[in-house]
Amino acid sequence: MLYVAIYVITIIVLYSFIQLYLNRKWKLIYTAFGYQNYFIIIGKLKKNGIEYKTKLPINLRSRQFDENTQYDIYVKNDSEHLALQSLYQN
């Protein structure tokens, strides 16, 4: 039983380090709540040709387009300034 617990903890720690390594080049620029806000922000980024990725902190696939769903929107570190400019211009 102790070996299983150690194994599970080791897997969790390794997974955390891998996620940290893969996400170090991405910067959180906006958190949108609801699909309407999400599509507005994504539209602005696409219009300016900015590469982005989205994460759902709570992974509930059955409620994917709910009005209360939180969407974290990330851009690459070198595109952060351009992305913020595109978000806040009219």
| The amino acid at 17 | F
Domain boundaries, the chain: 25-88
Evaluate if pTM is beyond 0.85.
no
Q: Are 34 and 69 in contact (CB under 8 A)?
A: yes
Q: 28 Cβ partners below 8 Å, 6+ apart?
A: 72, 73, 74
pLDDT score at 83: 94
- Per the listing, tokens 């194994």 go with 7
**pLDDT tens per residue across span 7-31:** 999 999 898 888 777 778 899 999 9
**pLDDT tens per residue across span 29-65:** 999 998 899 999 999 999 999 999 998 877 555 555 5
H or E segment and range at residue 28: strand 26-33
